Amino acid sequence: VQLQESGPGLVKPSETLSLTCTVSGDFLNDNYWSWIRQPPGKGLEWIGNIFYRSTTKYNPSLKNRVTISVDRSKNQVFLRLNSVTAADTAVYYCARHFDGTYLNYWGQGTLVTVSS
């Protein structure tokens, strides 16, 4: 199983951060998929996850700004985070759950910087 995050490395304040996680070696239907982020020099923050096409859970601290979705035909998981600020600057990881529990596969992560 391999996960690869992609997307713009620079986003302007107040705009929308959009990332894609492309999955190989597995099928989206069979698992839960999470997004996690890590600000530079800081710890991990769970953003949320998705199961099947639309069952989602989000971190309450981000719930009003975040959307996670999937495209099964492309085997991709998406993250959208609205109204970003500098505090959203982080390395963003996608990861696969084992049966909705722990995270047993992680992507390499992608750095997103929020700056004008």
Applying CB under 8 A, the residues found at the interface with another protein are 34, 36, 43-46, 49, 57, 59-60, 93, 97-98, 100-104, 106-109
Question: Which residue lies nearer to another protein by CB, 24 or 116?
Answer: 24
Could you please report the per-residue DSSP string of 44-57? -EEEEEEETTTEEE
Q: How far is the CB of 60 from another protein (least distance, A)?
A: 7
Instruction: Report the nearest approach of another protein to the CB of residue 70 (Å).
Output: 18
Residue placing its CB nearer to another protein in the complex, 61 or 83: 61
Q: Are 93 and 85 in contact (CB under 8 A)?
A: no
* Residue (49 or 76) nearer to another protein, CB: 49
